[in-house]
Structure 1
């Protein structure tokens, strides 16, 4: 960047970085030195107090961004050399966008030069370890310039895509609810134990670095303010030696030293596991006999027996007509619940253990996501207010958050199955299929019978088993069998044109 004398006014839009002298770039330092006027938020001017001597200083408060940009442009149009400052990078939630937009609107004669700086996400990430080592998204929670519904849509998209999310402007004196609301949206797609990094005043006096969980964030247990950057991990992010790490290296693409042998051992172990599985299924086929003859039903039954070693499920399993086909089509993005979207149905479960039992190697190639909102921050309140169990409250929240393009899987709590049936009876919500196989002694058999009876009224397909038997393992086995069936034939997609 040339800082020679200018014949016309020039406006440097300068990113100061996090605020420490060591992280102010040489170009930013040179731009400040060359300027005879400095415009900025008063709090940021304090960070460069030692560089202000002999210059015209124009300080304004937060919320006066447009006014700051206008004053800086006016000074530059008078032929002066001006620096308009932002912390971090001026082009990322800083003054760069404001002044460039204003300049385009008024048709300025001044020359604009944006000088990059170290943005808050990068400085915060460095303090936390390596949380943004893979794909990430940055979202500002300030609704001063962006409508809140737009912010929520962006949070939902980033959460569903499993991005690490860097949250700027998470709170202020007037904005205190947004962060917990965002955490609730993220909990639809992520574990309550997802690591969350909080960095306040990075590389400045009063610095604070803390790692909490996503549930802490949702419950309002995390201390944040306008100077805090919040980094929410993805499903792969973990904490090691006090540092957040989002893995960058994938074994299949770039093995690190010593990993080749480990992978060979894993492949050998997997091959042995496949052999055991094949032998187990052969034994099941032999003892099961010829029934059921329908290949899809047999696939479900043998998976349940494999998960439980209980052949009584062969006689106890009950399907509504077309239930397997409805679930398989939903997982392929077909069927009535998909509408015109051609996207795969999600799975919602009553407990986290069942969610964990859904095999990612079967679900992910189809694009199927699995949700459990048992630990949603609102579940305890709903449970207390309506005198229902947390499982039922989580199911209610999942129905609201995820929608009706879902396959419901209930393997533990009959109360969650009863809530499913209530929603079907009393609301327009219609899942693609309900797999209701809770286990226990109280309310289990009655809830399963009501599931069967509901089909004659609503037509919602079901899979269940008679009696008290059931559980998360066999319910996960049913889901995995259906996913396997859905993946056995290539999905069809609409073809554009004609």
Structure 2
């Protein structure tokens, strides 16, 4: 007779070849085996002839655990078997809980096994090459609303997701709901792997897409694997890259800073709620969100149709040679490399002695006075505002008086007084291309990045920002 202990053993997904040597050794030296009757054929060859066999049906886990303790407390070694890994939806947690509740002296050891999702992943290729999670759709122990919250969290966090207990005779609708939740958050072409009877007779594998996935293909013997935004399929091989090739194959001429910016833009584009918008508007929006990390920019960014493309055409053709800003912080944020490459000058008149004198004499803000001086020298410049609504309002007045003919306006002043009104004042000038951050939000960094989007619009189609980083 062995010592009083329970070994909770994961016997793998079903093939004898997937049972670990440690589990086989434990089975060969045990006094008794407790488990679901369906699993005994997989391990019978390893059991001693005189070992006590205690089997039972589904949904009798607690009874099996109690039997295991009863036999072990008689001074015998008991193997409690679970399919896959005993610690993943298996008997290990119940046995350890029961030991604590009973105050039992029985020693408990847990032996790991190969899980069904691991076996399924190996059969499909390498779908779990990056962060992943496992979710069971069984609501016997977990309320459905909690399961649904976890599904949403997994989908939004871009986890590769393995789905256990996807469907049964009584639970037919949950997998349809999971598909609906994922489609609202993942691309329809996301790969989906369906593996039935992994490692057992009748094993089948299918690779499809999230859009084409049919929940009727699944049952209780099925594991469903849903890829992340980087996953892809080649035939029946399902791969999620770890990222090694991305590290090794940085495009020629792309420095580290630009590489980070390109990856950031790709991330933002994937997370846009409304990605199907004109390219020039999207290019400005990507810049705005990249600068602020604020996806509210999807709602706040207002542009005339084709405004960014028109600004770029005027800048690149030489029709616009000057960019005027309301404050020096906007000027500082405009890409110097782009300005030099295109032969454009960015100027701010805030500290110009003429503006300082005018502001003092007329009782107006220096930013407002700076725009008056700027218009005298560059009436057809591209004007960018990231701070002062008074400066933007001054430009509107000068346009209406026929003194200013801007080639474009970037309106992103920030604050609480006259900010919203100043932005609305710009909109009626229909012959001037405009990019506006509506509402109170704005800032010098936003104004500068929107100017940069116009300067680099020729990189938009390839989604290659940061050439001048």
Asked if 1:21 is matched to 2:12, the reply is no
Q: Deviations over 1:211-270 (max 9, x none)?
A: 1211233xx4551111111111001101124211111124564x1xxx3xx6215669x8
- Tell me which residue corresponds to 1:348: 273
Unpaired segments ≥5 residues, structure 1: 275-330, 332-345, 370-405, 409-431, 440-458, 467-473, 490-498
Q: Deviations over 1:254-305 (max 9, x none)?
A: x1xxx3xx6215669x89xx9xxxxxxxxxxxxxxxxxxxxxxxxxxxxxxx
1:49 to 44, 50, 58: 44
3-state secondary structure, aligned to 2:100: helix
- Tell me which residue corresponds to 2:148: 152
Alpha-carbon shift at residue 32 of structure 1 (Å): 0.8
> In 2, distance between residues paired with 1:74 and 1:487?
74
Alpha-carbon shift at residue 200 of structure 1 (Å): 1.2
Asked if 1:234 is matched to 2:195, the reply is no
1:63 to 49, 59, 82: 59
Q: How do 1:457-476 and structure 2 match up within 5 A? A: none
Q: Which of the pair has more CA radius of gyration?
A: 2
Given that 1:347 and 1:407 are in contact with CA atoms closer than 8 Å, whether structure 2 keeps it comes out as no
> In 1, distance between residues paired with 2:301 and 2:449?
22
- Tell me which residue corresponds to 1:36: 31
Alpha-carbon shift at residue 434 of structure 1 (Å): 8.6
TM-score norm. by structure 1 comes to 0.55
Alpha-carbon shift at residue 347 of structure 1 (Å): 4.6
> In 2, distance between residues paired with 1:487 and 1:24?
61
2:199 to 192, 198, 203: 203
3-state secondary structure, aligned to 2:101: helix
- Tell me which residue corresponds to 1:263: 251
Q: How do 1:12-411 and structure 2 match up within 5 A? A: 12-52=7-47, 53-217=49-213, 220-250=214-244, 253=247, 255=248, 259=249, 263-264=251-252, 347-349=272-274, 363=289
Given that 2:292 and 2:446 are in contact with CA atoms closer than 8 Å, whether structure 1 keeps it comes out as no
Unpaired segments ≥5 residues, structure 2: 263-267, 307-419, 429-433, 451-469
- Tell me which residue corresponds to 1:318: none
Given that 1:17 and 1:120 are in contact with CA atoms closer than 8 Å, whether structure 2 keeps it comes out as yes
- Tell me which residue corresponds to 1:485: 446
- Tell me which residue corresponds to 2:400: none
Given that 1:14 and 1:116 are in contact with CA atoms closer than 8 Å, whether structure 2 keeps it comes out as yes
Question: Judging changes above 3 Å, is the alpha-carbon distance between structure 1 residues 181 and 111 closer, same or farther for their aligned structure 2 residues?
Answer: same
Alpha-carbon shift at residue 120 of structure 1 (Å): 1.5
Question: Judging changes above 3 Å, is the alpha-carbon distance between structure 1 residues 486 and 251 closer, same or farther for their aligned structure 2 residues?
Answer: farther
Given that 1:212 and 1:222 are in contact with CA atoms closer than 8 Å, whether structure 2 keeps it comes out as no
Alpha-carbon shift at residue 50 of structure 1 (Å): 2.4
Q: Deviations over 1:59-96 (max 9, x none)?
A: 11121112211211211112121111111100011111
Count of residue pairs the alignment pairs up:
317
Q: Deviations over 1:476-495 (max 9, x none)?
A: x99xx99x839959xxxxxx
Given that 2:32 and 2:77 are in contact with CA atoms closer than 8 Å, whether structure 1 keeps it comes out as yes
3-state secondary structure, aligned to 1:39: strand
Given that 2:195 and 2:206 are in contact with CA atoms closer than 8 Å, whether structure 1 keeps it comes out as yes
> In 2, distance between residues paired with 1:349 and 1:32?
57
> In 1, distance between residues paired with 2:303 and 2:130?
38
- Tell me which residue corresponds to 2:330: none
RMSD value, Cα: 4.2
3-state secondary structure, aligned to 1:348: coil
Question: Judging changes above 3 Å, is the alpha-carbon distance between structure 1 residues 24 and 365 closer, same or farther for their aligned structure 2 residues?
Answer: farther
Question: Judging changes above 3 Å, is the alpha-carbon distance between structure 1 residues 166 and 437 closer, same or farther for their aligned structure 2 residues?
Answer: farther
> In 2, distance between residues paired with 1:237 and 1:49?
40
Instruction: Give structure 1 regions of 4+ aligned residues with deviation exceeding 3 angstroms.
Output: 250-253, 265-268, 350-354, 356-369, 432-439, 486-489
3-state secondary structure, aligned to 1:69: helix
> In 2, distance between residues paired with 1:126 and 1:15?
18
Given that 2:13 and 2:115 are in contact with CA atoms closer than 8 Å, whether structure 1 keeps it comes out as yes
Alpha-carbon shift at residue 49 of structure 1 (Å): 2.9
Question: Judging changes above 3 Å, is the alpha-carbon distance between structure 1 residues 143 and 363 closer, same or farther for their aligned structure 2 residues?
Answer: farther
> In 2, distance between residues paired with 1:69 and 1:486?
66
